[in-house]
Amino acid sequence: MLDMTRTREIFDASSDFTVGIEEEFALVDPGSRDLIARFEDLETAAAADDVLRDAVAGELISSEIEIRSKPGRDFADALDSQRENRRRLFALAASQGIELGSTGTHPWSPWQEQRIIDTEHYRRLNDDLGYVAWRNNTFSLQVHVGIAGADRAIAVCDRMRHVLPELLAVSANSPFLDGRDSGLASVRSQIFTRSFPRCGIPDPFGSFQEYARYVDLLVEMHSIVEFTQLWWSIRPHHRYGTVEVRICDAQSSAAESDALAGLMVACVAQAAVDHDEGVPFVPAPGMLIEENTWRAIRYGTEGKLIDLGERREFPAAALSDRLLAWTAPARAELGIACELAEQSGTIRQRRALAEGSLESAYGAEVDRTQTTFASNEEVVVDG
């Protein structure tokens, strides 16, 4: 899908605000909660399930699995599909003696012991990136939102640049790595976004023509052979005709994941509405976007971010209210309710660590994932 004429045609034929949801889970041993390389076992077992057969996918390492909703007419439709996927996946994993974890990183399993899955795409990744790929044992929540019109999709991506650090801060759920507290709210973002090429938040393109010129240049210079090698935190998806948001950490409970996915979809939709209505917009310099991204990585919702329009600081704890207020028109139109958690997963994990051990803190998150994703209900878990 590097034929940019064809990509334009796909976007021009796309429908507004269709939705896809993708969630990545760690495969962990039920006793030790170490990562275990069992993806191929789950993939084989899933082949016998009419729903999971097309819903599960590999994601770099054999101790990780991704589940993808069917393309939904809207957010509610996609969420219904994903909830059924979850129910089946968690039941299948249990039957195979596997638990699933859902934080942005695994707190202690060594990256040196993980194995990249054997597909053409990931063999290429291994050859091209080496250590950068090996080190990236991370887990995320991603959404696709249909946007009609190629130029309009690029306009939405440009407007979303300002919002992405805010979504990252709200989603922060990866404080631990290599057996210790990293000191970061989202260490997942540090080892992925700051390491991979063509990653992070891209510069504004202004038009699909400029975007196509950039992609064509990368192809001509032998930098990429497929568009998925553009690992940005937001990107136009050439095959689906969607804007894909990729910046958020995986969430530990079903309710947290549902609410965050709904907010991500609403942000994309609101950016499209603002563009359509001619709401004034001047792209912020990359250096200011970068400053907010670092603050989100380091402090999550416990620090301050910069209001890029007013050039003033504000407490990141106010992000949920700010984002809900901005997206209110889109959420009302699309029927999206977002009951965001009062505290991020990072804050919860650090509080658990202060009262116990790294193992108990992560164990509580795995318990939360097991009890909520399997039933698609919010269950209070001690710890």
Domain assignment of residue 68, given as a range? 15-147+159-203+234-373
pLDDT classification of 375: cutoffs 50, 70, 90: confident
155: nearest Cα among 325, 42, 270: 270
pLDDT category of residue 57 using cuts at 50, 70 and 90: very high
Mean pLDDT of 159-164: 98
* CATH number of the domain encompassing residue 309: 3.30.590.20
Residue 381: the pLDDT is 33
**Could you tell me if residue 382 is inside a domain?**
no
In a domain, 254, yes or no: yes
Tokens standing for residue 294: 């670092």
What is the pTM assigned to this prediction?
Answer: 0.96
Q: Give the whole-angstrom CA distance, residue 133 versus residue 123.
A: 10
Residue 18 DSSP SS3: coil
Q: How do residues 183-194 score in pLDDT, each as one tens digit? A: 999 999 999 999
Question: Do the Cβ atoms of 143 and 21 come closer than 8 Å?
Answer: yes
Decide if pLDDT at 70 tops 60: yes
Across the chain, what does the average pLDDT equal?
A: 96
Residue 222, domain member (yes or no): no
Looking at this protein, which amino acid is placed at residue 114? Q
Residue 214 located in a structural domain: no
| Domain annotation covers residue 176 | yes
Count of the separate structural domains present in the chain:
1
- Helix (H) / strand (E) element for 176: namely strand 176-177
CA distance linking residue 69 with residue 76, whole number of Å: 11
Q: Average of pLDDT values for 320-329? A: 97
Res. 377 pLDDT band, cuts 50 70 90: low
Distance CA 56, CA 67 (A): 5
